[in-house]
Amino acid sequence: MALILPAYAKLNLTLDVTGRRANGYHEIDSVMQTISLHDLVSVARTDCRVFDVVGPSISGENLVLKAARELEGHAGRALPFTIRLFKRIPMGAGLGGGSSDAAAFLRAAVALYALKIPDEALVELATAVGQDVPFFLNGGTARATGLGSTVAPLPDFPKSWRFLVICPPIEVATRAVYEAVDGAASTARRTPALAARLESQQGVDAAGFGNDLEATARRLFPALSEAVAPLSAELPGLQMSGSGAAFYAAFPGEGEARRALGSLQADDVTAWLCRPVPAWR
């Protein structure tokens, strides 16, 4: 039997860099949201390990295979799988595709092998794979703090909203962006206000979105800024997700979002029209 799970992308609706630890890692405070753009992860129990990617090849560390190793280490035995990954989320875009794939694998593998892993232990295991992976175990709307792996659920983002996601064909190195943020620049601290509005059901205002990393990413990678600049006039409020290169614009309703999508397509810009996806656990 095989399980096929969607692995949803995420947006950082806010991303505040609140400090830097002695080891060089940064503390963040972020409202994250899963969106309907997704990969598919197919996992089946087999006698040998097979991993296959349909779509662009994966560069760098493969978080799905890292998750498999961590899970086997926790279980103390071999857990052979046939894994087929259907990639659609752009890689290295700040959309969390690799982390989401790893979390989907963990959920499928735990079910297929009927592993009795307490939630706390599964979060620890997911954190060992990557700091974003714990968020994707449940998805939805959540506040991520610390290094990003401390996750607290928030009320669901309004389902009527839509996001236009754009990913220029530019590679942005996450490590380089974070290393250039030395902690001297003040943070806008947008996250507490947005989290409070969601918790109090006051309604959402996209003016409260934003990302402390955007200015640094655009400075370090001028091609990114050049690609996004002409789009900003058509999409007011365009924001970067994660450390880039993906940007998004948020709309309270689908009609306005579709009109904006039409204007982008006329300019030959590839974009995804996405809805917010609520938590699944």
The two tokens of residue 229 are 């600049």
Burial category of 84 from C-beta neighbours within 10 Å (exposed 0-12, middle 13-18, buried 19 and up): middle
Active site residue 212: no
Angstrom distance (rounded) from CA 121 to CA 131: 15
The pTM score is 0.95
Task: List, by residue range, all CATH 3.30.70.890 domains of the chain.
Answer: 162-274
Matching CATH number, 162-274, of 3.40.50.720, 3.50.50.60, 3.30.70.890, 3.40.50.150: 3.30.70.890
Distances (CA, A) of 233 to 52, 218, 249, 270: 41, 17, 12, 16
In what order do the strands lie in the sheet containing 247-251? 239-240, 247-251, 162-166, 271-274
Active site residue 29: no
pLDDT at 248: 98
Domain 2-153, CATH: 3.30.230.10
CB 6 within 8 A of CB 43: no
In eight-state DSSP terms, residue 208 is G
pLDDT at 228: 92
Q: In order along the chain (281 residues), what is the average pLDDT of each group of 10 residues? A: 94 95 88 98 92 81 93 94 95 94 97 95 97 97 96 97 94 88 77 96 92 94 93 90 96 95 82 96 76
143 HSE (CA, 13 A, CB side): 17
Task: List, by residue range, all CATH 3.30.230.10 domains of the chain.
Answer: 2-153
Out of 10, 16, 39, 87, the active site residue is: 10
Out of 47, 132, 156, 159, the active site residue is: 132
Of 44, 180, 61, which is closest to residue 128 (Cα–Cα)? 61
pLDDT at 16: 96
The two tokens of residue 54 are 């349909």
